[in-house]
Amino acid sequence: MKKISALLLLVLMIGVLAACGSTEPAAAPTEAPAVAEEAAPAEEAAPAEESGSKTYVFVPKGLGIPYFDTANKGAQEAAAELGVAVTYTGPATADATEQIQVLNALIAQGVDGLSISANDSDALVPTGKDAMESGIPVVSWDAAIAEGGRNAHINQADAEGIGVVQVEMVSDLIGGAGQIAILSATSTAPNQNEWIEYMKTELEKPEYADIELVTVVYGDDEDEKSYNEAIGLMRTYPDLKGIISPTTVGIAAAARAVQDQERVGEVFVTGLGTPNQMREYVKSGAAPAFALWNPADLGYLSIYALNAIATGQIEGKPGDTFEAGKLGSYTIAEDGSVLLGAPTVFNIDNIDDFDF
């Protein structure tokens, strides 16, 4: 028995190590994190054994994006508190087909739960169903898998509120009149698409009658593509006054493009960004205001929700309530979602108070 426990500890700690360090796309089943070479000291693994040795996988839209890395920090914090292992792995780029391949490999491995930011709401439903039919609970977070393909969705903030705040910010920045454009992530991203619909509805209100949305373009959550799209917008629309970019990758690239083109003060960038990526652009005036929730809290909450389902504390049905450590208690809403809270607006007055 002791031998089995020691082996289990070793395997679990390897999982934890792989989780913290992994930046590669998901390994094939034979290259599972559990066969990595190093193990941490056995005493540090004690909580995992006590908790029943679960290994969950935290899957971003794409690797190498600071927003998701921060979310993973919260996921790891929850893992440490719960005594479970959480592996961080996903597709190299924010692409649904690639993400499905990664997930299929994880399902074949028989992991204990999946927490996913989806690149496509509907395309991931069959994959999520496969997982659940194999006894692997699935939560989506950040970008939802449609109902039927996950047990619950962990929502960062009210979608309408996220749309509205971005219209308010751009209107303030451009003095309530002029041409604006949206620079989004991928064209299939469920979260961005929902927010954009709410932005369009908000822009129909009389107070925004002098603002014209000229186009929506896509930078695919890739820095270079987003940068080039932003430059293209400024060339195609010489009178453009504002760019809303509801993606942390796009907003930073657009602000850099405005600076490089020496258009600071003429074209204003806003949207959703991380304080550490946006600090210099807030200070330069390229992007004086933007919004976001705390991605680490989002990752943390998703792992608490997944663990509550995976350990049978809750079924994951509307009305179920679970405890999420330092964040307190949450209830699953009628549509199967769990709401983290309201976003924060960052500007010159508070940007230096945040470090993520």
Query: Which residues contribute to the site for ligand RAM (CB under 6 A)?
Result: 61, 65, 67, 117, 142-143, 185, 189, 191, 221, 247-249, 272
Q: How far is the CB of 221 from ligand RAM (least distance, A)?
A: 5
Give min distance, CB of 252 to ligand RAM, in A: 10
Closest CB to ligand RAM among residues 85, 96 = 96
User: How near is the Cβ of 117 to ligand RAM at its closest, in Å?
Assistant: 6
Cα–Cα separations (whole angstroms), residue 203 to 31, 196, 246: 50, 10, 15
User: Buried b vs exposed e over 312-351: b needs ≥16 C-beta within 10 Å?
Assistant: eebebeeebebebeebeebebeeebbbbbeebbbbeeeeb
Q: Among residues 120 and 142, whose Cβ is nearest to ligand RAM?
A: 142
Distance, in Å, from the CA atom of 175 to the CA atom of 252, rounded to the nearest integer, reads 22
Burial label for 23, CB within 10 Å (0-12, 13-18, 19+), is exposed
Report the residue number, 109 or 191, with the smaller CB distance to ligand RAM.
191
Which of 109/119 has CB closer to ligand RAM? 119
Round to whole Å and give the CA distance between 74 and 81.
Answer: 11
Decide if 285 contacts 223 (C-beta within 8 A).
Answer: no
CB of 143 to ligand RAM, least distance (A): 5
- Plot region of 196 (φ>0 → left; ψ -120 to 50 → alpha; else → beta): alpha
> Minimum distance between the CB of residue 181 and ligand RAM, rounded to whole angstroms?
17
Kindly state the smallest distance separating residue 65's Cβ from ligand RAM, in Å: 5
State which residue, 156 or 179, has the beta carbon closest to ligand RAM.
Answer: 156
For ligand RAM, which is the closer residue by CB, 61 or 150?
Answer: 61
Q: Which residues contact 175 (CB under 8 A, 6 or more apart)?
A: none
Q: H helices within the chain, ranges in order?
A: 2-21, 46-51, 66-82, 96-109, 125-133, 159-174, 190-203, 223-236, 248-260, 275-284, 295-310
Residue at token pair 């504390």: 313
In the complex with ligand RAM, the residue whose CB is nearer, 67 or 346, is: 67
From residue 293, how far is each of 15, 86, 115, 181, 290 by CA, in Å? 28, 22, 18, 23, 11
- Name the minimum Å distance from CB 159 to ligand RAM: 11
Nearer to ligand RAM, 45 or 196 (CB): 196
Q: How far is the CB of 166 from ligand RAM (least distance, A)?
A: 11
Q: Give the residue closest to ligand RAM by C-beta.
A: 67
Q: What are the φ and ψ backbone dihedral angles of 345, each rounded to 5 degrees?
A: -95, 130
Query: In terms of Cα–Cα distance, which of 255, 301, 341, 288 is closest to 139?
Result: 301
- Of 149 and 299, which has the nearer Cβ to ligand RAM? 299
Classify residue 30 by its DSSP letter: G
Question: In the complex, what is the shortest distance from the CB of residue 267 to ligand RAM, in angstroms, rounded to a whole number?
Answer: 20
